[in-house]
Chain A
Amino acid sequence: MSDLVEDLLAGKHSALARVITQIENRSPGYREIISDLHQHTGTADVIGVTGSPGAGKSTLVDKVAATYREQGLTVGVIAIDPSSPFSGGAVLGDRIRMASNAGDMDMFFRSMSARGSLGGLSTATTDAVTALDAFGKDKIIVETVGAGQNEVDIVRTADTVAVLVPPGSGDDVQMLKAGILEIGDVFVVNKADLDGADRTVQQLREMLQGRSGRPETGHHGATELAGHAESDDPHDDDAESESWNPPIVETVANRGEGVEDFLETLADHGEYLDRTGRREGQARERFAAEIRTLLREDANELLADELDRRGGIDSYVDAVIERHTDPYTVVDEILTPLRDCLDERRDEA
Protein backbone atom coordinates (compact mmCIF):
# COMPACT_ATOMS: atom_id res chain seq x y z
CA MET A 1 0.00 0.00 0.00
CA SER A 2 1.38 3.38 -0.96
CA ASP A 3 2.16 6.15 1.50
CA LEU A 4 -0.51 8.26 -0.12
CA VAL A 5 -3.20 5.67 0.63
CA GLU A 6 -1.96 5.30 4.20
CA ASP A 7 -2.00 9.06 4.68
CA LEU A 8 -5.50 9.28 3.26
CA LEU A 9 -6.80 6.53 5.53
CA ALA A 10 -5.09 8.26 8.45
CA GLY A 11 -7.20 11.32 7.71
CA LYS A 12 -4.66 13.60 6.11
CA HIS A 13 -6.47 16.24 4.06
CA SER A 14 -3.67 16.92 1.60
CA ALA A 15 -3.42 13.18 0.82
CA LEU A 16 -7.12 13.04 0.00
CA ALA A 17 -6.72 16.07 -2.24
CA ARG A 18 -3.71 14.53 -3.99
CA VAL A 19 -5.50 11.23 -4.57
CA ILE A 20 -8.33 13.08 -6.29
CA THR A 21 -5.77 14.92 -8.44
CA GLN A 22 -4.26 11.61 -9.48
CA ILE A 23 -7.72 10.31 -10.30
CA GLU A 24 -8.39 13.37 -12.44
CA ASN A 25 -5.06 13.14 -14.22
CA ARG A 26 -5.23 9.35 -14.43
CA SER A 27 -1.68 9.40 -13.21
CA PRO A 28 0.26 6.16 -13.30
CA GLY A 29 -0.71 4.14 -10.26
CA TYR A 30 -4.12 5.66 -9.67
CA ARG A 31 -5.76 2.32 -10.30
CA GLU A 32 -3.85 0.66 -7.50
CA ILE A 33 -4.89 3.49 -5.22
CA ILE A 34 -8.57 2.98 -5.99
CA SER A 35 -8.16 -0.77 -5.56
CA ASP A 36 -6.58 -0.25 -2.13
CA LEU A 37 -9.29 2.19 -1.11
CA HIS A 38 -12.24 0.10 -2.24
CA GLN A 39 -12.35 -2.17 0.80
CA HIS A 40 -12.60 0.87 3.07
CA THR A 41 -15.74 2.19 1.38
CA GLY A 42 -19.43 1.58 1.71
CA THR A 43 -20.25 3.72 4.72
CA ALA A 44 -21.06 7.08 3.14
CA ASP A 45 -24.42 8.36 2.03
CA VAL A 46 -24.06 9.73 -1.51
CA ILE A 47 -26.38 12.49 -2.67
CA GLY A 48 -26.45 13.77 -6.25
CA VAL A 49 -27.63 17.28 -6.98
CA THR A 50 -28.34 18.44 -10.51
CA GLY A 51 -30.37 21.07 -12.31
CA SER A 52 -30.06 23.82 -14.86
CA PRO A 53 -27.35 26.50 -14.55
CA GLY A 54 -28.38 29.15 -12.06
CA ALA A 55 -30.96 26.94 -10.36
CA GLY A 56 -29.15 27.45 -7.06
CA LYS A 57 -27.40 24.10 -6.73
CA SER A 58 -24.22 25.41 -5.13
CA THR A 59 -26.08 27.61 -2.69
CA LEU A 60 -28.34 24.76 -1.62
CA VAL A 61 -25.41 22.35 -1.32
CA ASP A 62 -23.62 24.89 0.87
CA LYS A 63 -26.60 25.14 3.22
CA VAL A 64 -27.15 21.39 3.28
CA ALA A 65 -23.49 20.77 4.07
CA ALA A 66 -23.56 23.38 6.84
CA THR A 67 -26.61 21.70 8.40
CA TYR A 68 -24.94 18.29 8.31
CA ARG A 69 -21.86 19.81 9.91
CA GLU A 70 -24.03 21.23 12.71
CA GLN A 71 -25.27 17.68 13.30
CA GLY A 72 -21.66 16.63 13.72
CA LEU A 73 -21.40 14.79 10.42
CA THR A 74 -18.44 15.14 8.05
CA VAL A 75 -19.15 16.15 4.50
CA GLY A 76 -17.43 15.85 1.14
CA VAL A 77 -18.59 17.77 -1.91
CA ILE A 78 -17.58 17.27 -5.53
CA ALA A 79 -18.72 20.11 -7.77
CA ILE A 80 -18.38 19.65 -11.51
CA ASP A 81 -18.18 22.57 -13.92
CA PRO A 82 -17.78 22.57 -17.68
CA SER A 83 -14.42 23.20 -19.30
CA SER A 84 -13.62 25.08 -22.47
CA PRO A 85 -13.61 22.84 -25.54
CA PHE A 86 -10.97 25.12 -27.09
CA SER A 87 -8.30 25.72 -24.47
CA GLY A 88 -9.21 22.90 -22.09
CA GLY A 89 -9.13 25.52 -19.37
CA ALA A 90 -11.91 26.24 -16.93
CA VAL A 91 -12.98 28.66 -14.26
CA LEU A 92 -14.45 26.65 -11.43
CA GLY A 93 -16.69 28.98 -9.49
CA ASP A 94 -18.82 26.73 -7.27
CA ARG A 95 -16.49 27.38 -4.38
CA ILE A 96 -17.62 30.99 -4.16
CA ARG A 97 -21.00 29.82 -2.85
CA MET A 98 -19.68 27.77 0.02
CA ALA A 99 -19.71 30.70 2.43
CA SER A 100 -21.36 28.77 5.26
CA ASN A 101 -18.49 26.32 5.52
CA ALA A 102 -15.55 28.63 5.04
CA GLY A 103 -12.39 27.53 6.76
CA ASP A 104 -13.95 24.27 7.98
CA MET A 105 -11.52 21.52 7.03
CA ASP A 106 -13.98 18.73 7.79
CA MET A 107 -16.09 20.02 4.97
CA PHE A 108 -14.05 18.83 2.00
CA PHE A 109 -15.00 20.69 -1.14
CA ARG A 110 -13.46 19.80 -4.46
CA SER A 111 -14.09 21.42 -7.86
CA MET A 112 -13.66 19.23 -10.91
CA SER A 113 -13.77 20.26 -14.53
CA ALA A 114 -15.25 18.19 -17.31
CA ARG A 115 -11.83 18.20 -19.05
CA GLY A 116 -13.08 18.38 -22.61
CA SER A 117 -13.02 15.23 -24.67
CA LEU A 118 -11.46 12.97 -22.09
CA GLY A 119 -14.80 11.28 -21.72
CA GLY A 120 -14.33 9.38 -18.52
CA LEU A 121 -15.66 12.08 -16.27
CA SER A 122 -18.19 9.75 -14.77
CA THR A 123 -15.38 7.30 -13.98
CA ALA A 124 -13.34 10.06 -12.35
CA THR A 125 -16.34 11.14 -10.30
CA THR A 126 -17.05 7.60 -9.14
CA ASP A 127 -13.41 7.22 -8.13
CA ALA A 128 -13.42 10.56 -6.32
CA VAL A 129 -16.49 9.42 -4.38
CA THR A 130 -14.58 6.24 -3.51
CA ALA A 131 -11.73 8.37 -2.13
CA LEU A 132 -14.07 10.52 -0.01
CA ASP A 133 -15.90 7.42 1.23
CA ALA A 134 -12.66 5.72 2.22
CA PHE A 135 -11.54 8.91 3.94
CA GLY A 136 -14.58 8.42 6.18
CA LYS A 137 -16.96 11.15 5.09
CA ASP A 138 -20.50 10.58 6.39
CA LYS A 139 -22.20 12.45 3.58
CA ILE A 140 -20.95 12.94 0.05
CA ILE A 141 -22.63 15.38 -2.30
CA VAL A 142 -21.99 15.34 -6.05
CA GLU A 143 -23.11 18.52 -7.75
CA THR A 144 -23.25 18.92 -11.52
CA VAL A 145 -24.94 20.89 -14.24
CA GLY A 146 -27.78 18.77 -15.53
CA ALA A 147 -27.29 19.38 -19.20
CA GLY A 148 -26.63 16.05 -20.83
CA GLN A 149 -26.21 12.32 -20.64
CA ASN A 150 -22.78 12.57 -19.06
CA GLU A 151 -24.23 14.45 -16.11
CA VAL A 152 -27.05 11.96 -15.78
CA ASP A 153 -24.42 9.21 -15.49
CA ILE A 154 -22.59 11.15 -12.85
CA VAL A 155 -25.51 11.65 -10.54
CA ARG A 156 -26.28 7.96 -10.88
CA THR A 157 -23.29 7.36 -8.65
CA ALA A 158 -25.57 8.71 -5.92
CA ASP A 159 -27.94 6.83 -3.62
CA THR A 160 -30.38 9.72 -3.78
CA VAL A 161 -30.66 12.20 -6.63
CA ALA A 162 -32.14 15.66 -6.13
CA VAL A 163 -33.13 17.70 -9.18
CA LEU A 164 -33.41 21.45 -8.77
CA VAL A 165 -35.94 23.32 -10.83
CA PRO A 166 -36.07 27.11 -10.66
CA PRO A 167 -39.48 28.79 -11.06
CA GLY A 168 -40.46 29.85 -14.54
CA SER A 169 -38.18 27.35 -16.24
CA GLY A 170 -40.35 27.09 -19.30
CA ASP A 171 -43.64 25.48 -20.22
CA ASP A 172 -44.63 21.87 -19.81
CA VAL A 173 -42.94 20.81 -23.03
CA GLN A 174 -39.63 22.18 -21.82
CA MET A 175 -39.92 20.00 -18.77
CA LEU A 176 -40.78 16.94 -20.79
CA LYS A 177 -37.67 17.41 -22.85
CA ALA A 178 -35.33 17.36 -19.93
CA GLY A 179 -34.33 13.77 -19.33
CA ILE A 180 -33.17 14.68 -15.86
CA LEU A 181 -36.77 14.57 -14.70
CA GLU A 182 -36.62 10.83 -14.91
CA ILE A 183 -33.69 10.41 -12.60
CA GLY A 184 -34.87 12.56 -9.69
CA ASP A 185 -35.74 10.94 -6.37
CA VAL A 186 -36.51 14.33 -4.89
CA PHE A 187 -37.44 17.51 -6.73
CA VAL A 188 -36.60 20.91 -5.34
CA VAL A 189 -38.25 24.09 -6.52
CA ASN A 190 -35.62 26.53 -5.37
CA LYS A 191 -36.10 30.30 -5.27
CA ALA A 192 -39.63 29.48 -4.13
CA ASP A 193 -40.16 33.10 -3.16
CA LEU A 194 -40.17 34.13 -6.82
CA ASP A 195 -43.28 34.60 -8.91
CA GLY A 196 -44.33 31.48 -10.71
CA ALA A 197 -43.03 29.05 -8.07
CA ASP A 198 -46.51 27.69 -7.41
CA ARG A 199 -47.05 27.15 -11.09
CA THR A 200 -43.73 25.32 -11.42
CA VAL A 201 -44.63 23.07 -8.49
CA GLN A 202 -47.98 22.38 -10.11
CA GLN A 203 -46.40 21.55 -13.45
CA LEU A 204 -43.81 19.33 -11.86
CA ARG A 205 -46.47 17.46 -9.96
CA GLU A 206 -48.43 16.82 -13.13
CA MET A 207 -45.29 15.67 -14.89
CA LEU A 208 -44.34 13.31 -12.10
CA GLN A 209 -47.79 11.77 -11.89
CA GLY A 210 -47.46 10.89 -15.53
CA ARG A 211 -44.10 9.26 -15.00
CA SER A 212 -44.15 5.79 -16.45
CA GLY A 213 -43.39 2.65 -14.53
CA ARG A 214 -44.23 4.25 -11.22
CA PRO A 215 -47.47 2.79 -9.92
CA GLU A 216 -49.52 5.08 -7.71
CA THR A 217 -49.39 3.81 -4.17
CA GLY A 218 -51.09 6.80 -2.67
CA HIS A 219 -49.31 6.85 0.66
CA HIS A 220 -46.21 8.71 -0.44
CA GLY A 221 -45.51 12.32 -0.73
CA ALA A 222 -46.07 13.26 -4.37
CA THR A 223 -49.46 14.69 -3.58
CA GLU A 224 -48.13 16.44 -0.53
CA LEU A 225 -46.36 19.77 -0.88
CA ALA A 226 -43.54 19.37 1.60
CA GLY A 227 -43.44 15.74 0.66
CA HIS A 228 -42.61 13.88 3.84
CA ALA A 229 -42.99 10.24 3.14
CA GLU A 230 -44.90 8.68 5.99
CA SER A 231 -42.67 6.57 8.15
CA ASP A 232 -45.45 4.49 9.68
CA ASP A 233 -45.96 2.53 6.55
CA PRO A 234 -49.12 0.41 6.80
CA HIS A 235 -47.83 -2.04 4.21
CA ASP A 236 -44.62 -3.23 5.82
CA ASP A 237 -45.23 -6.75 4.61
CA ASP A 238 -44.86 -5.91 0.96
CA ALA A 239 -42.02 -3.51 1.47
CA GLU A 240 -40.15 -4.82 -1.52
CA SER A 241 -42.90 -3.93 -3.94
CA GLU A 242 -43.26 -0.49 -2.41
CA SER A 243 -42.50 2.27 -4.86
CA TRP A 244 -41.20 5.77 -4.31
CA ASN A 245 -43.10 8.77 -5.53
CA PRO A 246 -40.67 11.65 -5.74
CA PRO A 247 -41.72 14.44 -3.42
CA ILE A 248 -41.44 18.10 -4.36
CA VAL A 249 -39.79 20.39 -1.83
CA GLU A 250 -39.79 24.17 -1.96
CA THR A 251 -36.69 26.01 -0.80
CA VAL A 252 -35.20 29.47 -0.73
CA ALA A 253 -31.60 28.32 -0.47
CA ASN A 254 -29.89 31.66 0.01
CA ARG A 255 -32.00 32.28 3.13
CA GLY A 256 -31.84 28.68 4.24
CA GLU A 257 -35.62 28.24 4.02
CA GLY A 258 -36.85 24.73 3.36
CA VAL A 259 -33.42 23.19 3.89
CA GLU A 260 -34.66 21.22 6.90
CA ASP A 261 -37.58 19.90 4.84
CA PHE A 262 -35.19 18.94 2.10
CA LEU A 263 -32.94 17.06 4.51
CA GLU A 264 -35.91 15.22 6.00
CA THR A 265 -36.94 14.18 2.52
CA LEU A 266 -33.44 12.92 1.81
CA ALA A 267 -33.52 10.96 5.05
CA ASP A 268 -36.94 9.53 4.11
CA HIS A 269 -35.56 8.36 0.82
CA GLY A 270 -32.61 6.80 2.59
CA GLU A 271 -34.99 4.91 4.89
CA TYR A 272 -37.01 3.83 1.90
CA LEU A 273 -33.87 2.46 0.24
CA ASP A 274 -32.99 0.48 3.35
CA ARG A 275 -36.54 -0.74 3.98
CA THR A 276 -37.04 -2.08 0.49
CA GLY A 277 -33.53 -3.38 -0.02
CA ARG A 278 -33.09 -1.03 -2.96
CA ARG A 279 -29.86 0.41 -1.61
CA GLU A 280 -28.21 -2.91 -2.16
CA GLY A 281 -29.85 -3.21 -5.55
CA GLN A 282 -28.57 0.21 -6.55
CA ALA A 283 -25.08 -0.64 -5.40
CA ARG A 284 -25.16 -3.80 -7.49
CA GLU A 285 -26.29 -1.87 -10.55
CA ARG A 286 -23.66 0.78 -9.91
CA PHE A 287 -20.80 -1.69 -9.67
CA ALA A 288 -22.06 -3.55 -12.73
CA ALA A 289 -22.11 -0.29 -14.68
CA GLU A 290 -18.66 0.59 -13.40
CA ILE A 291 -17.21 -2.75 -14.45
CA ARG A 292 -18.77 -2.39 -17.89
CA THR A 293 -17.47 1.15 -18.31
CA LEU A 294 -13.95 0.19 -17.30
CA LEU A 295 -14.01 -2.83 -19.56
CA ARG A 296 -15.14 -0.69 -22.46
CA GLU A 297 -12.52 1.99 -21.81
CA ASP A 298 -9.69 -0.49 -21.38
CA ALA A 299 -10.70 -2.54 -24.38
CA ASN A 300 -10.89 0.67 -26.39
CA GLU A 301 -7.41 1.60 -25.34
CA LEU A 302 -6.07 -1.86 -26.09
CA LEU A 303 -7.59 -1.76 -29.56
CA ALA A 304 -6.40 1.79 -30.21
CA ASP A 305 -2.85 0.62 -29.49
CA GLU A 306 -3.32 -2.32 -31.80
CA LEU A 307 -4.64 -0.01 -34.49
CA ASP A 308 -1.58 2.22 -34.12
CA ARG A 309 0.70 -0.79 -34.29
CA ARG A 310 -0.92 -1.72 -37.58
CA GLY A 311 -0.13 1.71 -39.01
CA GLY A 312 -3.04 3.79 -37.78
CA ILE A 313 -6.61 4.13 -38.85
CA ASP A 314 -5.83 6.27 -41.92
CA SER A 315 -4.49 3.46 -44.07
CA TYR A 316 -7.64 1.44 -43.36
CA VAL A 317 -9.81 4.44 -44.21
CA ASP A 318 -7.94 4.88 -47.48
CA ALA A 319 -8.52 1.23 -48.37
CA VAL A 320 -12.21 1.54 -47.53
CA ILE A 321 -12.57 4.68 -49.67
CA GLU A 322 -10.84 2.90 -52.57
CA ARG A 323 -13.37 0.10 -52.10
CA HIS A 324 -10.57 -2.42 -51.58
CA THR A 325 -12.18 -3.41 -48.33
CA ASP A 326 -15.07 -2.40 -46.08
CA PRO A 327 -15.42 -1.41 -42.41
CA TYR A 328 -16.73 -4.81 -41.30
CA THR A 329 -13.83 -6.66 -42.85
CA VAL A 330 -11.38 -4.25 -41.26
CA VAL A 331 -12.85 -4.81 -37.82
CA ASP A 332 -12.82 -8.57 -38.34
CA GLU A 333 -9.19 -8.45 -39.38
CA ILE A 334 -8.19 -6.56 -36.26
CA LEU A 335 -10.32 -8.56 -33.85
CA THR A 336 -9.68 -12.08 -35.15
CA PRO A 337 -6.31 -12.50 -33.38
CA LEU A 338 -7.92 -11.35 -30.16
CA ARG A 339 -10.76 -13.81 -30.48
CA ASP A 340 -8.34 -16.62 -31.30
CA CYS A 341 -6.26 -15.75 -28.30
CA LEU A 342 -9.28 -15.80 -25.99
CA ASP A 343 -10.42 -19.13 -27.46
CA GLU A 344 -7.00 -20.62 -26.84
CA ARG A 345 -7.04 -19.47 -23.22
CA ARG A 346 -10.50 -20.91 -22.75
CA ASP A 347 -9.33 -24.25 -24.09
CA GLU A 348 -6.38 -24.27 -21.75
CA ALA A 349 -8.63 -23.58 -18.78
Chain B
Amino acid sequence: MSVEQEQTERTIRCLVAKVGLDGHDRGAHVIARALRDAGFEVIYSGLHRAPDEVVQAAVQEDVDVVGISILSGAHNTLVPKILDGLKEYDAFDDRLILVGGIVPDDDKDELRNLGVDEIFGPGASMEEMIEYIHEHAPER
Protein backbone atom coordinates (compact mmCIF):
# COMPACT_ATOMS: atom_id res chain seq x y z
CA MET B 1 0.00 0.00 0.00
CA SER B 2 1.52 3.32 -0.94
CA VAL B 3 1.47 6.34 1.26
CA GLU B 4 -0.46 8.24 -1.39
CA GLN B 5 -3.39 5.85 -1.18
CA GLU B 6 -3.26 5.89 2.56
CA GLN B 7 -3.62 9.63 2.66
CA THR B 8 -6.84 9.69 0.77
CA GLU B 9 -8.34 8.41 4.00
CA ARG B 10 -8.27 10.42 7.17
CA THR B 11 -5.34 9.51 9.40
CA ILE B 12 -6.62 7.89 12.56
CA ARG B 13 -4.91 8.98 15.77
CA CYS B 14 -4.76 6.67 18.78
CA LEU B 15 -3.61 7.25 22.31
CA VAL B 16 -2.08 4.22 23.99
CA ALA B 17 -2.12 4.98 27.70
CA LYS B 18 -0.77 3.15 30.71
CA VAL B 19 -2.58 4.25 33.86
CA GLY B 20 -1.79 3.89 37.50
CA LEU B 21 0.68 1.68 39.32
CA ASP B 22 1.25 -0.85 36.61
CA GLY B 23 4.71 -1.27 35.21
CA HIS B 24 3.90 -3.80 32.52
CA ASP B 25 4.13 -2.04 29.20
CA ARG B 26 5.26 -4.78 26.89
CA GLY B 27 1.73 -5.30 25.61
CA ALA B 28 1.24 -1.58 25.16
CA HIS B 29 4.45 -1.42 23.11
CA VAL B 30 3.35 -4.31 20.90
CA ILE B 31 0.00 -2.64 20.34
CA ALA B 32 1.57 0.74 19.62
CA ARG B 33 3.77 -0.80 16.99
CA ALA B 34 0.99 -2.81 15.38
CA LEU B 35 -1.23 0.27 15.17
CA ARG B 36 1.61 2.23 13.63
CA ASP B 37 2.10 -0.50 11.03
CA ALA B 38 -1.63 -0.34 10.31
CA GLY B 39 -1.07 3.32 9.31
CA PHE B 40 -2.36 4.96 12.48
CA GLU B 41 -0.63 7.74 14.33
CA VAL B 42 0.03 6.48 17.83
CA ILE B 43 0.69 8.68 20.81
CA TYR B 44 2.21 6.65 23.60
CA SER B 45 1.78 8.06 27.08
CA GLY B 46 4.59 6.31 28.89
CA LEU B 47 4.17 4.47 32.18
CA HIS B 48 2.37 5.36 35.42
CA ARG B 49 0.05 8.06 34.11
CA ALA B 50 -2.61 9.56 36.31
CA PRO B 51 -6.16 9.74 34.91
CA ASP B 52 -5.95 13.52 34.42
CA GLU B 53 -2.78 13.08 32.37
CA VAL B 54 -4.58 10.65 30.11
CA VAL B 55 -7.42 13.13 29.76
CA GLN B 56 -4.97 15.92 28.97
CA ALA B 57 -3.32 13.81 26.29
CA ALA B 58 -6.62 12.64 24.78
CA VAL B 59 -7.98 16.19 24.57
CA GLN B 60 -4.85 17.96 23.32
CA GLU B 61 -3.85 15.32 20.82
CA ASP B 62 -7.47 15.14 19.61
CA VAL B 63 -7.18 11.39 19.21
CA ASP B 64 -9.93 9.31 17.64
CA VAL B 65 -9.20 6.36 19.86
CA VAL B 66 -8.33 6.35 23.56
CA GLY B 67 -6.73 2.99 24.37
CA ILE B 68 -6.31 2.40 28.07
CA SER B 69 -4.10 -0.47 29.15
CA ILE B 70 -4.56 -1.66 32.72
CA LEU B 71 -3.20 -4.91 34.06
CA SER B 72 -3.30 -3.97 37.72
CA GLY B 73 -6.99 -4.64 38.33
CA ALA B 74 -7.67 -1.00 39.21
CA HIS B 75 -9.87 -0.41 36.17
CA ASN B 76 -13.00 0.22 38.23
CA THR B 77 -11.29 3.15 39.93
CA LEU B 78 -9.23 4.59 37.09
CA VAL B 79 -11.42 4.23 34.00
CA PRO B 80 -14.41 6.21 35.39
CA LYS B 81 -12.06 9.06 36.31
CA ILE B 82 -10.78 9.19 32.75
CA LEU B 83 -14.31 9.09 31.33
CA ASP B 84 -15.43 11.91 33.64
CA GLY B 85 -12.43 13.99 32.61
CA LEU B 86 -13.15 13.50 28.93
CA LYS B 87 -16.74 14.57 29.47
CA GLU B 88 -15.62 17.63 31.38
CA TYR B 89 -13.55 18.79 28.39
CA ASP B 90 -16.23 17.90 25.90
CA ALA B 91 -14.06 15.17 24.43
CA PHE B 92 -16.09 12.06 25.16
CA ASP B 93 -18.79 11.73 22.51
CA ASP B 94 -16.63 11.64 19.42
CA ARG B 95 -13.97 9.33 20.78
CA LEU B 96 -13.69 5.57 20.74
CA ILE B 97 -12.77 4.34 24.23
CA LEU B 98 -11.03 0.98 24.39
CA VAL B 99 -9.77 -0.85 27.45
CA GLY B 100 -7.11 -3.53 27.22
CA GLY B 101 -5.99 -5.79 30.00
CA ILE B 102 -7.39 -8.26 32.43
CA VAL B 103 -10.97 -7.31 33.21
CA PRO B 104 -13.29 -9.85 34.90
CA ASP B 105 -16.58 -10.43 33.06
CA ASP B 106 -18.60 -8.90 35.89
CA ASP B 107 -16.71 -5.64 35.49
CA LYS B 108 -17.00 -5.55 31.73
CA ASP B 109 -20.70 -4.70 31.71
CA GLU B 110 -20.14 -2.01 34.27
CA LEU B 111 -17.39 -0.41 32.16
CA ARG B 112 -19.54 -0.62 29.04
CA ASN B 113 -22.39 1.08 30.87
CA LEU B 114 -20.04 3.88 31.81
CA GLY B 115 -19.16 4.47 28.18
CA VAL B 116 -16.29 2.16 27.28
CA ASP B 117 -16.83 1.00 23.71
CA GLU B 118 -14.92 -2.25 23.76
CA ILE B 119 -12.72 -4.33 26.03
CA PHE B 120 -9.91 -6.47 24.70
CA GLY B 121 -8.61 -9.17 27.00
CA PRO B 122 -5.94 -11.84 26.79
CA GLY B 123 -6.09 -13.69 23.48
CA ALA B 124 -7.51 -10.80 21.47
CA SER B 125 -5.73 -10.50 18.14
CA MET B 126 -4.25 -7.34 16.70
CA GLU B 127 -6.19 -7.84 13.47
CA GLU B 128 -9.40 -7.93 15.45
CA MET B 129 -8.55 -4.68 17.20
CA ILE B 130 -7.43 -2.88 14.04
CA GLU B 131 -10.56 -3.96 12.21
CA TYR B 132 -12.70 -2.82 15.12
CA ILE B 133 -11.04 0.60 15.07
CA HIS B 134 -11.48 0.96 11.32
CA GLU B 135 -15.16 0.10 11.61
CA HIS B 136 -15.95 2.18 14.66
CA ALA B 137 -13.64 5.19 14.44
CA PRO B 138 -15.91 8.17 14.97
CA GLU B 139 -17.07 10.23 12.00
CA ARG B 140 -15.82 13.75 12.31
Instruction: Assess whether A84 is in contact with B36, with CB atoms less than 8 Å apart.
Output: yes
Instruction: Assess whether B7 is in contact with A118, with CB atoms less than 8 Å apart.
Output: yes
Q: Which residues of A contact B61 (CB under 8 A)?
A: 17, 95, 110-111
Instruction: Assess whether A90 is in contact with B41, with CB atoms less than 8 Å apart.
Output: yes
Known contacts A21-B62, A96-B44, A103-B52; is A91 also within 8 Å of B32 by CB?
yes
Interface of B is mostly: mixed
Instruction: Assess whether B60 is in contact with A13, with CB atoms less than 8 Å apart.
Output: yes
Per-position contact with A for B27-64: 1 when CB-CB < 8 Å, else 0? 00000110111111111111001101101110111100
Q: Which residues of B contact A90 (CB under 8 A)?
A: 36, 41-42
- Cross-chain contact of B10 among A17, A25, A92 (Cβ < 8 A): A25
Task: Give the CA-CA distance A316 to B96 in the complex, in Å.
Answer: 47
- Cross-chain contact of B41 among A18, A92, A95 (Cβ < 8 A): A92
Q: How many residues of B contact A (CB 8 A)?
A: 37
Instruction: Assess whether B42 is in contact with A108, with CB atoms less than 8 Å apart.
Output: no
Indicate whether B137 reaches chain A with its CB closer than 8 angstroms. no
Indicate whether A24 reaches chain B with its CB closer than 8 angstroms. yes
Instruction: Assess whether A88 is in contact with B7, with CB atoms less than 8 Å apart.
Output: yes
Indicate whether A314 reaches chain B with its CB closer than 8 angstroms. no
Q: How far is the CB of B16 from chain A (nearest CB, A)?
A: 9
Q: Which residues of B contact A105 (CB under 8 A)?
A: 56, 59, 89
Task: Give the CA-CA distance A96 to B43 in the complex, in Å.
Answer: 9
Q: How far is the CB of B53 from chain A (nearest CB, A)?
A: 4
Per-position contact with B for A208-244: 1 when CB-CB < 8 Å, else 0? 0000000000000000000000000000000000000
Indicate whether A269 reaches chain B with its CB closer than 8 angstroms. no
Indicate whether B105 reaches chain A with its CB closer than 8 angstroms. no
Q: How far is the CB of A234 from chain B (nearest CB, A)?
A: 46
- Cross-chain contact of A95 among B6, B10, B44, B52 (Cβ < 8 A): B44
Q: Which residue of B lies closest to A116 (CB)?
A: B3
Q: How far is the CB of B78 from chain A (nearest CB, A)?
A: 14
- Cross-chain contact of B37 among A18, A89, A93, A95 (Cβ < 8 A): A89
Q: Which residues of B contact A92 (CB under 8 A)?
A: 41-44
Indicate whether B139 reaches chain A with its CB closer than 8 angstroms. no
Q: Which residues of A contact B37 (CB under 8 A)?
A: 84, 87, 89
Q: Which residue of B lies closest to A85 (CB)?
A: B3
Indicate whether A296 reaches chain B with its CB closer than 8 angstroms. no
Instruction: Assess whether B6 is in contact with A88, with CB atoms less than 8 Å apart.
Output: yes
Known contacts A110-B60, A116-B7, A117-B4; is A12 also within 8 Å of B41 by CB?
no
Indicate whether B90 reaches chain A with its CB closer than 8 angstroms. yes
Q: Which residues of A contact B56 (CB under 8 A)?
A: 102-105, 109
Indicate whether A249 reaches chain B with its CB closer than 8 angstroms. no
Indicate whether A8 reaches chain B with its CB closer than 8 angstroms. no
Task: Give the CA-CA distance A18 to B32 in the complex, in Å.
Answer: 23
Task: Give the CA-CA distance A18 to B91 in the complex, in Å.
Answer: 10
Known contacts A89-B35, A108-B60; is A24 also within 8 Å of B11 by CB?
yes
Residue in A92, A99, A105 with the greatest tally of chain B CB atoms within 10 Å: A92
Indicate whether A123 reaches chain B with its CB closer than 8 angstroms. no
Residue in A17, A88, A90, A92 with the greatest tally of chain B CB atoms within 10 Å: A88
Instruction: Assess whether B39 is in contact with A87, with CB atoms less than 8 Å apart.
Output: yes
Per-position contact with B for A6-47: 1 when CB-CB < 8 Å, else 0? 000000111001101100110000000000000000000000
Q: Which residues of A contact B35 (CB under 8 A)?
A: 89
Instruction: Assess whether B3 is in contact with A86, with CB atoms less than 8 Å apart.
Output: yes
Q: How far is the CB of B29 from chain A (nearest CB, A)?
A: 9
Task: Give the CA-CA distance A297 to B6 in the complex, in Å.
Answer: 20
Instruction: Assess whether B33 is in contact with A91, with CB atoms less than 8 Å apart.
Output: yes
Task: Give the CA-CA distance A91 to B89 in the complex, in Å.
Answer: 25
Known contacts A95-B45, A118-B7; is A87 also within 8 Å of B36 by CB?
yes
Q: Which 7 residue pairs spanning A and B have beta carbons closest together? A: A96-B46, A17-B62, A89-B36, A116-B3, A103-B52, A88-B6, A21-B62
Task: Sample 21 A-B pairs with CB under 8 A, ordered by A number.
Answer: A13-B60, A21-B13, A83-B41, A84-B37, A87-B36, A89-B38, A89-B39, A89-B42, A90-B41, A95-B57, A96-B46, A102-B56, A104-B56, A105-B59, A109-B60, A110-B60, A111-B41, A115-B7, A115-B11, A116-B3, A117-B3
User: Apart from A91-B36, A103-B55, what 9 extra A-B contacts exist at CB < 8 Å?
Assistant: A17-B59, A21-B13, A87-B37, A92-B42, A93-B44, A96-B44, A102-B53, A103-B56, A113-B41
